[in-house]
């Protein structure tokens, strides 16, 4: 593994969606940079396996992020254990689409709004006071190119991601004047190491590599990005 781009030594960082498609690559990068991680998601066994791989000092939280009291309990428990929280990385993702806008069922919107927007609202509201108290609180969320340039078969997905972007940018405004920041990493379709291993002959040149996303997240979570707030870092491969 390459040397950390920016130091996160001792920083306490919560990762929502840690066991998802992108999660393992990002958490490995943050751990390599010295962060102390709390890995959250629904699947306890996957979280525990990942935490064991990272080594000691990291913890897990099997929590339903659609349950706001449970999400607040995760945040408050992390502060009780470590005395503070320095960062929140929101990696919760999912997609539904591919159908003409006039034919697509609006139940896709309901599902995407809950997954992509409500989980973000719950986590940021739960961690916000702790991040302000940190002195260098960081929020990093994953944005999609579709939010700024939507295509009609992906209307519900694009609308949900646009709403999530607006929430993060509003959070950045809340942080203005403090030493905390909130920023977005804009990606296209993501390729992970597992995807490359499964399909070694496939051309992934237009995809955004998970490793590049992890580097951007580590940078935005560090003091090297202390002057960046309310910004979009765009990583869209060769697309």
Distance separating alpha carbons of residues 223 and 239, to the nearest angstrom: 30
Number of domains comprising the chain: 1
**Cβ 180 vs Cβ 228: under 8 Å:** no
Determine, yes or no, domain membership for 51: yes
In a domain, 7, yes or no: no
The whole-number pLDDT of residue 216 equals: 97
Instruction: Return the closest-CA partner of residue 87 out of 52, 124, 33, 48.
Output: 124
Residue with tokens 């525990």: 48
Average pLDDT of the chain is 93
Hey, is 37 helix, strand or coil? strand
Q: Is the pLDDT of residue 3 over 60?
A: no
The contacts of residue 144 (CB under 8 Å, 6+ apart) are 157, 158, 161, 186, 187, 188
- C-alpha distances out from residue 116 to 38, 42, 141, Å: 20, 15, 10
Cα-based distances in Å from 16 to 87, 107, 142, 151, 154: 11, 24, 11, 28, 24
Q: 31 in a domain, yes or no?
A: yes
- The reply to whether 172 falls in a domain is yes
The mean per-residue pLDDT over the stretch 27-40 comes to 97
pLDDT of residue 4: 43
How high is the pLDDT of residue 5?
Answer: 53
Predicted TM-score (pTM) of this structure: 0.94
User: Is residue 201 domain-resident?
Assistant: yes
CATH number at residue 165: 3.40.50.720
Q: Residue 210 has which token pair?
A: 């998970």
pLDDT tens-place string over residues 176-192: 999 999 999 999 889 98
The residues, ordered by sequence, that sit 6+ positions from 33 with a Cβ below 8 Å of its Cβ are: 4, 5, 6, 7, 8, 9, 218, 222
Tell me whether residue 52 is in a domain.
yes
Q: Which domain holds residue 97?
A: 12-235
Element (H, E) at 182: strand 181-187
Q: For residue 6, is it within any domain?
A: no
3-class DSSP state for residue 16? strand
Residue 208 belongs to a domain = yes
Q: Which residue do the tokens 């069922």 mark?
A: 105
Tokens matching residue 239: 């697309």
What local confidence, expressed as pLDDT, does residue 7 receive? 86
């Amino acid at each position: 593994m390459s040397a950390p781009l920016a130091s996160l030594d001792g920083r306490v960082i919560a990762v929502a969606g840690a066991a998802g498609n992108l999660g393992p690559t990002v958490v490995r990068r943050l751990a390599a940079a010295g962060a102390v991680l709390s890995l959250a998601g629904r699947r306890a066994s996957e979280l525990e396996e990942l935490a064991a791989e990272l080594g000691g000092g990291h913890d897990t939280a099997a929590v339903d992020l659609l349950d706001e009291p449970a999400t607040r309990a995760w945040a408050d428990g992390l502060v009780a254990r470590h005395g503070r929280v320095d960062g929140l990385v929101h990696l919760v993702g999912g997609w539904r689409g591919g159908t003409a806008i006039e034919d697509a069922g609006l139940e896709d919107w309901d599902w995407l709004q809950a997954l992509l927007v409500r989980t973000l609202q719950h986590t940021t509201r739960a961690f916000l006071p702790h991040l302000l108290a940190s002195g260098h609180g960081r929020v990093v969320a994953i944005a999609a190119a579709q939010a700024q340039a939507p295509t009609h078969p992906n209307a519900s997905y694009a609308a949900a991601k646009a709403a999530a972007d607006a929430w993060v940018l509003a959070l950045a405004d809340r942080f203005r004047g403090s030493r905390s920041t909130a920023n977005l990493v804009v990606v296209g379709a993501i390729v992970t190491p597992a995807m490359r291993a499964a399909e070694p002959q496939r051309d992934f040149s237009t995809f955004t590599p998970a490793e590049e996303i992890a580097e951007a997240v580590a940078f935005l979570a560090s003091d090297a990005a202390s002057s960046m707030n309310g910004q979009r870092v765009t990583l869209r491969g060769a697309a």
